[in-house]
């Protein structure tokens, strides 16, 4: 090769390189081959972008028969399938898994409020789909290229993947791992009796006796904790803990405010308690959930229906500290717009369905979202967890720009699944976190619709679906 490559030469080189090793390490070209192919010339030719797309497509399309433990095609299993607006348990036949997929025999799956729309509501999928976005079980088969888990492992199929090698993971943001784009590989995993293909929500599903997941979503957990408790680490419990232990890590003695005492908010309460927070102030309209928050570590619970208009100032007052002497570590008093808590977690969301218990002053969730920002002190941390708010929200420009509040969002509160799930297991084992305390009901596969109705009604806290 010379120094005067034409663009079509570059393109051909990339395609050959990608096609020869679609999923494994790419062979290094000979020195003479690489010579003269500068990154600048490749960029100029637009070839790098083309290579990226080609690699992703190649990964999604790979279908070499390579199951380490023998063929699984045709294996019968049952799952909840959502077709149109109908949710029903169906008999399915498994398709062959791919070289980097893991076949999990599900033992438990977390009932998540977000999923109520997909099981009970009017949110349809494009194709018949197994709902949910997490699960727990035992690895029954692995594709030939899977390294992270082995058959027989107890494995969490987490709502967030962590590949460890994509751009986001390498830059410290696995909660935004590029494998989260499940459209790349969410192909049918099974067929119904009439031949209709079935996919999994988010390439995970969960309300099924079988989950087929890319290994990037699979976290092996080496513990003897119960399946139901561990299933919460793929969703609600892990999200609340991560909100207090990752980007907005609670500091000892700090003031923490948690909006919402559902399964996620209660996990945030426990996470804050585990860090020896000072005050843990919980804002929750449902009486039995306020009681639960007190049991799990809240120091104060407030009903947002009481003094709704003065809630923000009331919380700020609670966070003034023991002195108003500014030269002695004190803070400004009433009316100071940058006063508030050190760490705030918004986990209330909006009502997707009319609850059968008390409801807050604003069913859209936007009021709580705005209040959560208002009660975060200047320089404090606000972590946003709920995804159920409906509508847009605005902020005063100057304060939005100048108050130095750090806002953290992100999948599952910023969880780094491979790092965090094992340490959450240890925290549960040591008694720092009580996972069992938030599980108030379990349902079998045939009771999934009933279970989700209780989740939608908010009459239960943590609902777990158990299989086998």
Using CB under 5 A as the binding rule, whether residue 166 contacts Zn ion is answered as yes
Candidates 9-17, 86-94, 157-165, 301-309; binding stretch for Zn ion (CB under 5 A): 157-165
Nearer to Zn ion, 73 or 387 (CB): 387
Positive or negative CA dihedral for 367, 370, 374, 380? positive
DSSP string, 282-308: EE-S-HHHHHHHHHTT-SEEE-TTSSG
Of 135 and 380, CB closest to Zn ion = 135
CB closer to Zn ion out of 160 and 244: 160
Q: Token pair 């780094």 is at which residue?
A: 416
Minimum distance from CB of 245 to Zn ion (Å)? Answer: 18
d(CA 64, CA 57): 15
Residues 246-305 close enough to bind Zn ion by CB under 5 A: none
Q: Among residues 171 and 430, whose Cβ is nearest to Zn ion?
A: 171
Using rule CB under 5 A, residue 163 touches Zn ion: yes
Q: Shortest gap between Cβ of 174 and Zn ion (angstroms)?
A: 6
Is there binding between residue 241 and Zn ion (CB under 5 A)?
Answer: no
Among 443, 426, 407, which Cα is nearest to 108's?
A: 443
Under the binding rule (CB under 5 A), the answer on residue 175 touching Zn ion is no
Q: Which is nearer to Zn ion, 75 or 80 (CB)?
A: 80
**Is 311 an interacting residue with respect to Zn ion (CB under 5 A)?**
no
Of 169, 241, 250, 267, which lies in the binding site for Zn ion, with binding defined by CB under 5 A? 169
Stretch that binds Zn ion, among 120-128, 161-169, 272-280, 413-421 (CB under 5 A): 161-169
Q: What distance lies between CA 281 and its chain's CA centroid?
A: 24
CA-to-CA dists, residue 440 to 201, 274, 335, 452, angstroms:
25, 22, 41, 13
Rg value, the chain, Cα: 25
Q: What is the DSSP string of 451-462?
A: HHHHHHHT--SE
Rounded to an integer, what is the distance from CA 222 to the centroid of its chain?
21
**Choice between 81 and 180, CB closer to Zn ion:** 180
- Classify the C-alpha dihedral 163-164-170-174 as positive or negative: positive
Stretch that binds Zn ion, among 41-49, 170-178, 328-336, 459-467 (CB under 5 A): 170-178
Distances (CA, A) of 304 to 265, 358, 362, 459: 15, 11, 9, 19
177 to 206: interface string for Zn ion, x by CB under 5 A: x-----------------------------
Report d(CA 407, CA 390) in Å as an integer: 19
Contact residue for Zn ion among 11, 41, 69, 114 (CB under 5 A): 114
Residue closer to Zn ion, measured from CB, 125 or 320: 125
Span interacting with Zn ion, options 85-93, 231-239, 359-367, 459-467, rule CB under 5 A: 231-239
Q: How far is CA 95 from CA 67, 142, 369, in A?
A: 12, 13, 43
Stretch that binds Zn ion, among 31-39, 199-207, 227-235, 379-387 (CB under 5 A): 227-235
Is there a contact between 362 and 308 (Cβ–Cβ < 8 Å)?
Answer: no
Total binding residues toward Zn ion, as defined by CB under 5 A? 7
- Contacting positions for Zn ion (CB under 5 A): 112, 114, 163, 166, 169, 177, 235
């Amino acid at each position: 090769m010379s120094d005067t490559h034409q663009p079509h030469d570059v393109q051909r080189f990339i395609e050959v390189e990608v096609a020869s090793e679609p999923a494994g390490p790419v062979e290094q070209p000979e020195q003479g081959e690489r010579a003269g192919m500068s990154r600048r010339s490749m960029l100029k030719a637009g070839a790098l972008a083309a290579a990226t797309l080609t690699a992703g497509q190649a990964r999604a399309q790979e279908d070499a028969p390579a199951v380490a433990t023998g063929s699984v095609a045709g294996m019968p299993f049952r799952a909840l399938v959502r077709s149109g607006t109908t949710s029903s348990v169906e008999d399915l036949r498994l398709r062959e898994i791919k070289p980097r997929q893991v076949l999990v025999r599900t033992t438990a799956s977390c009932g998540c409020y977000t999923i109520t729309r997909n099981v009970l509501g009017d949110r349809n999928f494009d194709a018949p789909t197994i709902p949910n976005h997490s699960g727990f079980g035992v690895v029954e088969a692995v594709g030939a290229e899977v390294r992270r888990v082995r058959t027989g492992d107890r494995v969490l199929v987490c709502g967030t993947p962590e590949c460890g090698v994509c751009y986001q993971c390498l830059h410290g943001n696995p909660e935004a791992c590029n494998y989260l784009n499940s459209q790349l590989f969410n192909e049918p995993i099974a067929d119904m009796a009439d031949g209709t293909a079935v996919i999994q929500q988010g390439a995970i599903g969960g309300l099924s006796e079988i989950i087929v997941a890319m290994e990037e979503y699979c976290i092996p957990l080496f513990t003897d904790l119960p399946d139901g408790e561990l299933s919460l680490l793929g969703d609600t419990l892990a999200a609340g803990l991560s909100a207090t232990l990752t980007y907005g890590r609670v500091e000892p003695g700090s003031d923490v405010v948690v909006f919402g005492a559902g399964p996620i908010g209660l996990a945030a309460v426990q996470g804050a308690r585990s860090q020896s927070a000072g005050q843990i102030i919980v804002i929750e309209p449902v009486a039995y959930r306020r009681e639960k928050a007190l049991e799990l570590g809240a120091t104060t619970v407030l009903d947002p229906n009481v003094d709704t208009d003065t809630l923000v100032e009331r919380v700020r007052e609670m966070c003034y500290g023991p002195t108003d002497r500014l030269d002695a570590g004190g803070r400004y008093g009433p009316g100071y717009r940058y006063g508030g808590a050190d760490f705030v977690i918004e986990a209330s969301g909006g009502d997707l369905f009319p609850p059968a218990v008390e409801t807050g002053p604003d069913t859209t969730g936007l009021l709580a979202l705005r209040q959560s920002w208002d009660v975060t002190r200047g320089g404090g941390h606000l972590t946003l967890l709920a995804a159920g708010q409906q509508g847009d929200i605005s902020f005063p420009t100057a304060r939005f720009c100048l108050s130095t509040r750090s806002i953290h969002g992100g999948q599952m509160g910023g969880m780094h699944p491979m790092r965090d799930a094992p340490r959450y297991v240890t925290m549960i084992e040591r008694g720092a976190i009580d996972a069992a305390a938030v599980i108030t009901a379990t349902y079998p596969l045939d009771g999934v619709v009933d279970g989700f109705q209780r989740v939608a009604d908010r009459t239960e806290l943590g609902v777990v679906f158990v299989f086998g």
